[in-house]
Amino acid sequence: MINIIAIQSILQSFVSDISDIQGATLVSPDGLAIASALPERVDEERIAAMTAAMLSIGERIGRELARGQIDRVIVVGEKGYSVLVNCSDDAVLLILANANAKQGLLFLEIKRAVAELVPLLAEQPKANLLT
Protein backbone atom coordinates (compact mmCIF):
# COMPACT_ATOMS: atom_id res chain seq x y z
CA MET A 1 0.00 0.00 0.00
CA ILE A 2 1.05 3.56 -0.68
CA ASN A 3 1.97 5.27 2.56
CA ILE A 4 -0.43 8.17 2.45
CA ILE A 5 0.19 9.12 6.05
CA ALA A 6 3.91 9.49 5.44
CA ILE A 7 3.29 11.48 2.27
CA GLN A 8 0.80 13.68 4.05
CA SER A 9 3.27 14.43 6.80
CA ILE A 10 6.01 15.35 4.33
CA LEU A 11 3.62 17.76 2.61
CA GLN A 12 2.44 19.19 5.91
CA SER A 13 5.91 19.89 7.25
CA PHE A 14 6.97 21.26 3.89
CA VAL A 15 4.16 23.81 4.08
CA SER A 16 4.58 24.67 7.76
CA ASP A 17 8.41 24.76 7.83
CA ILE A 18 9.00 27.02 4.88
CA SER A 19 7.43 30.40 5.33
CA ASP A 20 6.71 31.37 1.74
CA ILE A 21 5.12 28.05 0.83
CA GLN A 22 1.36 28.14 1.21
CA GLY A 23 0.22 24.75 0.06
CA ALA A 24 1.12 21.47 -1.55
CA THR A 25 -0.80 18.60 -3.06
CA LEU A 26 0.23 15.35 -4.65
CA VAL A 27 -1.98 14.27 -7.51
CA SER A 28 -2.29 11.23 -9.78
CA PRO A 29 -1.70 11.90 -13.50
CA ASP A 30 -5.43 11.47 -14.12
CA GLY A 31 -6.30 14.20 -11.66
CA LEU A 32 -7.12 12.65 -8.29
CA ALA A 33 -5.59 13.98 -5.07
CA ILE A 34 -3.38 11.45 -3.30
CA ALA A 35 -2.51 13.68 -0.31
CA SER A 36 -2.74 17.42 0.33
CA ALA A 37 -1.76 20.25 2.61
CA LEU A 38 -3.72 23.03 0.99
CA PRO A 39 -5.11 26.33 2.28
CA GLU A 40 -8.74 26.12 3.47
CA ARG A 41 -10.26 28.01 0.59
CA VAL A 42 -8.78 25.73 -2.08
CA ASP A 43 -11.05 23.02 -3.50
CA GLU A 44 -8.82 19.95 -3.49
CA GLU A 45 -10.80 17.97 -6.05
CA ARG A 46 -10.83 20.79 -8.59
CA ILE A 47 -7.22 21.69 -8.09
CA ALA A 48 -6.16 18.07 -8.51
CA ALA A 49 -7.95 17.86 -11.85
CA MET A 50 -6.49 21.19 -12.97
CA THR A 51 -3.00 20.09 -11.99
CA ALA A 52 -3.23 16.97 -14.14
CA ALA A 53 -4.67 18.91 -17.09
CA MET A 54 -2.02 21.61 -16.84
CA LEU A 55 0.87 19.19 -16.64
CA SER A 56 -0.42 17.19 -19.59
CA ILE A 57 -0.69 20.35 -21.69
CA GLY A 58 2.76 21.49 -20.54
CA GLU A 59 4.17 18.14 -21.57
CA ARG A 60 2.52 18.33 -24.97
CA ILE A 61 3.86 21.83 -25.57
CA GLY A 62 7.28 20.65 -24.48
CA ARG A 63 7.14 17.76 -26.91
CA GLU A 64 5.82 19.89 -29.77
CA LEU A 65 8.63 22.39 -29.25
CA ALA A 66 11.28 19.74 -28.65
CA ARG A 67 12.01 20.82 -25.08
CA GLY A 68 12.81 17.29 -23.97
CA GLN A 69 11.52 15.75 -20.76
CA ILE A 70 9.42 18.33 -18.89
CA ASP A 71 10.17 18.60 -15.18
CA ARG A 72 7.97 21.46 -14.21
CA VAL A 73 5.30 23.89 -15.28
CA ILE A 74 5.22 27.24 -13.53
CA VAL A 75 2.40 29.76 -13.32
CA VAL A 76 3.50 33.12 -11.97
CA GLY A 77 0.95 35.68 -10.84
CA GLU A 78 1.22 38.94 -8.95
CA LYS A 79 0.32 37.11 -5.75
CA GLY A 80 2.72 34.25 -6.16
CA TYR A 81 3.64 31.01 -7.79
CA SER A 82 2.02 27.72 -8.66
CA VAL A 83 4.64 25.16 -9.54
CA LEU A 84 3.82 21.72 -10.95
CA VAL A 85 6.53 19.13 -10.75
CA ASN A 86 6.57 15.64 -12.20
CA CYS A 87 7.41 13.37 -9.26
CA SER A 88 7.14 9.94 -10.82
CA ASP A 89 4.99 8.17 -13.39
CA ASP A 90 2.27 8.03 -10.77
CA ALA A 91 2.33 11.47 -9.22
CA VAL A 92 2.52 15.19 -9.83
CA LEU A 93 3.33 17.63 -7.06
CA LEU A 94 1.69 21.06 -7.00
CA ILE A 95 3.22 23.76 -4.79
CA LEU A 96 1.70 27.15 -4.02
CA ALA A 97 4.08 29.88 -2.87
CA ASN A 98 3.54 33.56 -2.20
CA ALA A 99 5.14 36.38 -4.15
CA ASN A 100 7.93 36.86 -1.60
CA ALA A 101 9.40 33.47 -2.40
CA LYS A 102 12.80 33.57 -4.07
CA GLN A 103 12.61 31.41 -7.16
CA GLY A 104 15.99 29.74 -6.72
CA LEU A 105 15.32 28.81 -3.12
CA LEU A 106 11.80 27.74 -3.90
CA PHE A 107 12.97 25.30 -6.58
CA LEU A 108 15.63 23.98 -4.26
CA GLU A 109 13.09 23.29 -1.53
CA ILE A 110 10.77 21.66 -4.03
CA LYS A 111 13.58 19.44 -5.23
CA ARG A 112 14.20 18.36 -1.63
CA ALA A 113 10.54 17.58 -1.08
CA VAL A 114 10.39 15.56 -4.30
CA ALA A 115 13.46 13.60 -3.22
CA GLU A 116 11.64 12.70 0.00
CA LEU A 117 8.42 11.77 -1.77
CA VAL A 118 9.82 9.65 -4.60
CA PRO A 119 10.89 6.65 -2.48
CA LEU A 120 7.44 6.52 -0.89
CA LEU A 121 5.80 6.47 -4.30
CA ALA A 122 8.05 3.77 -5.65
CA GLU A 123 6.86 1.32 -3.00
CA GLN A 124 3.43 1.13 -4.32
CA PRO A 125 2.27 -1.09 -7.17
CA LYS A 126 0.09 0.77 -9.63
CA ALA A 127 -3.10 -1.14 -9.03
CA ASN A 128 -3.25 0.06 -5.45
CA LEU A 129 -4.03 3.55 -6.58
CA LEU A 130 -7.43 2.23 -7.63
CA THR A 131 -10.06 3.62 -5.33
Residues at the contact surface with another protein, assessed by CB under 8 A = 28-32, 45-46, 48-50, 52-54, 56-57, 60, 64, 89, 126, 129-131
Nearer to another protein, 6 or 129 (CB): 129
Nearer to another protein, 44 or 116 (CB): 44
Nearer to another protein, 54 or 74 (CB): 54
Q: How far is the CB of 62 from another protein (least distance, A)?
A: 12
Q: How far is the CB of 60 from another protein (least distance, A)?
A: 6
**Residues 6+ away with beta carbon under 8 Å from 108:** none
Q: How far is the CB of 13 from another protein (least distance, A)?
A: 26
List strand residue ranges (DSSP E) for 3-114, in order. Answer: 21-27, 33-37, 72-77, 80-88, 91-98
| Of 83, 78, 123, 131, residue with least CA distance to 103 | 83
Residue type, 100: N
* Rounded Cα distance, 117 and 45, in Å: 21
Nearer to another protein, 45 or 123 (CB): 45
